[in-house]
Amino acid sequence: MTVTVLEPVRATFRAVAATVVPETHALDTDGWATLESAVERALAARPERVRAQLVTFLRLIEYLPIARVVGRFSRLDASRRTLVLRRLEKSPILLIRRGFWGLRTLVMLGYYTQPEVQAAIGYRAHPDGWATRRRLAPPESRGTPLITLEVPRLPDDSTTG
- Model confidence band, residue 141 (pLDDT cutoffs 50, 70, 90): low
Render pLDDT for 10-52 as a digit per residue (tens, 0 to 9).
999 999 999 999 999 889 999 999 999 999 999 999 999 999 9
Q: What pLDDT score does 122 carry? A: 79
Q: What pLDDT score does 1 carry? A: 45
Tell me how far apart the alpha carbons of residues 88 and 94 are, in angstroms, rounded to a whole number.
10
Across residues 101-105, what is the average pLDDT?
96
Contacts of 73 (CB under 8 A, 6+ apart): 12, 15, 16, 61, 62, 63, 64, 65, 81, 84
Largest pairwise CA distance in the chain: 83
Q: What pLDDT score does 119 carry? A: 80
| pTM of the full structure | 0.76
Report H helices in 4-28. Answer: 10-20
